[in-house]
Structure 1
Amino acid sequence: MKINVKRVRESKLTKVNFSDLGFCKYHSDHMFIADYEDGKWSNFRITPHEDLNLSPACTTLHYGQTIFEGLKAYKNKKDEILIFRPDKNATRFNKSAQRMCMPTFPEKYFIQSITELLKIDKRWVPSQENSSLYIRPLMFAMDSYIGIKPGDKYVFIIICGLAGGYYSEPVNVKIETKFTRAVSGGVGFSKTAANYAAALYPSVEAQKDGFHQLIWTDGKEHKYVEESGTMNLFFVIDNKLITPPLGDTVLDGVTRDSIIILSKDLGIDIEIRKISVDEIINSLDNNSIKEVFGAGTAATIAPIKTIGYKNKKYHIPQLSRDSISSTLLKSLNSIKYGETEDKFGWILKLN
């Protein structure tokens, strides 16, 4: 893959307040772009991060044929740049593409486009503790056409943004039993815009009551919990770590998969099974739930301190330093920042 490069005249890096990074409020200087037309990818280029020109008849604006990914790059103490599990994101990206009737983007192109972009924007990978560069690949249809059909033209783009902490404190969540995020046979397992747009209204309503996110339940009976907004879910009940299984309504989280592998390696007792709302509430009532946390690329591991259900709030015990979630977070971060052996082959080091 030959990539044409056009660099910025002046970097925006000097304008960054590194003591207040937030999440992606600062975008890096450059972006990667590739075009799909006549059944093939071409015109690979790295350009300054800038606005796009779109036709108002662009099919994506009308019919939502778009997908995206999220991964991170870290800097170790040797100032080396480490990318966490990009192959896993490439696989999930193409799984989403197939479901949304879009062309796949070859894994070798996916990874090369990220590495070449980071070579140019390497100064944007922060060295502060608990900070990273968030990498956002996306693809959408570019046809100028009014009518429902799969696109013939697509664009693949990668932009990057500085990432500090996603949540500044443990989160409050509400179990949602009215609205539905995904149904069997739908696109719940795909990282497509429709899933997030459909979640906005019930999420905003929950925020009015002091909740950060929702715990989504199955669309058929609202009996079993599935995931929480931008995160997969984990529960520690009777000292056993439990997470709901994957399916066509649950996103195959990279952090989720990493936690499962790490738990087995650390000797943590873990079960992958359905968890009912009733089991959660009963476990909260009898104090057998010791921890609840979400896991995702943006937040990594986010402890949950309150669960709302039927106008009642249940409080999770305060975590100790040797809690399961704290142990997993420490172990996961030590791999991401290159502080320990990468025994699972998760890290791609930028040459």
Structure 2
Amino acid sequence: MKRSLTNRLIVHVACCDLIILLLNLPDLIQFVLSRNGNWLLSEFSCKLIRSLLVFAQYASVLTMCAITIERFFGIVHPLRSKFLGERKHLRYVTFFVWIFSFICVSPNFIYLRVISHSSTHRSCSLLYSQNVPDNQRYYIIHKSLESMIFYFIPLFLQLYCYCRIATKLFYVDQTLQSSLPLNQISNYHRTLEDFDNEIDQEENLTSRITRTDSYVHSSINVKSKHLSPKLFSSLNNSQFSIEKKSNEDKFYQIYSNTLKSRRNIIKMLIVVIVIYFISFSPQVLVFLLFQTNTIRPVPQFIQTSYFIALTMLLITISSASNPIVYAVFCSKFRQRFHNLLRHFCFWK
């Protein structure tokens, strides 16, 4: 694929998906082995695995926001996108995403503990204080900030940007598509008139005329003094008519392919975002509705290890489905992925 800013950022999202996919496996394996959601590993593993998992989730959603903003300026405000598309700005964006994600995930690495609830049940959970009310209060503050920064703000930002992008692509571009060819044709007429004026001022000119038919190509070199002005002007008009038709066909093809490519990439990103927010919504809704004591009593299923396993499974499905989405909407991704498989599998 073309190494644009969007494609480079999509690579970062793919790296985050891979990290999430790999780090969700220990939780799923432990759930299968213990049957009640026990944490079987050490406390250091609890801190490392869960912190890296959350870190990848933070980086993924921030990178998706960066892609959304880049697409927004590239389509809605194209004159500003050239400045944002420079390679040095990609480094600034990725540096900010990873550093900010690391800062936000640091409380997880500090406060994650393996807590023994009974002789047979251990969990990897956040423990801010041994005092239960204080622990609950810190937990609500932490999760409220997390939900606001990494769920609600990205959700509304991307909804706004993609609504504006959809309006631009599916409505305004139709007007541009009908107006640009007219401007191009008028430019061709001006070019023909200027060229005819230059011919009248020259004493000896050599004209190369290329006529293109289905199977015939011919070149004729003539000097203007051997031809009448009327015939010479006719030959030049014929040449520019052929060039104009060829350039117009190329213009229509390039413009059509550009619109199709832009719409496909927007559709792909919207699907990825929808899958992401559907996968993470259960965790946020449970926190808002039940863990903040908004609704009482808490349903029994939410308090079981099966619900935790379900949320982990949704996150895993979200990360695993993104390459499928890329393959569906991007033909170049399919081609490169096929070439990669052939390389590793030694296919002829």
TM-score (normalizing by structure 1): 0.21
Which of structures 1 and 2 has the larger relative contact order (alpha carbons within 8 angstroms, sep 6+)? 2
Structure number, greater radius of gyration:
2
Higher strand share: 1
TM-score (normalizing by structure 2): 0.21
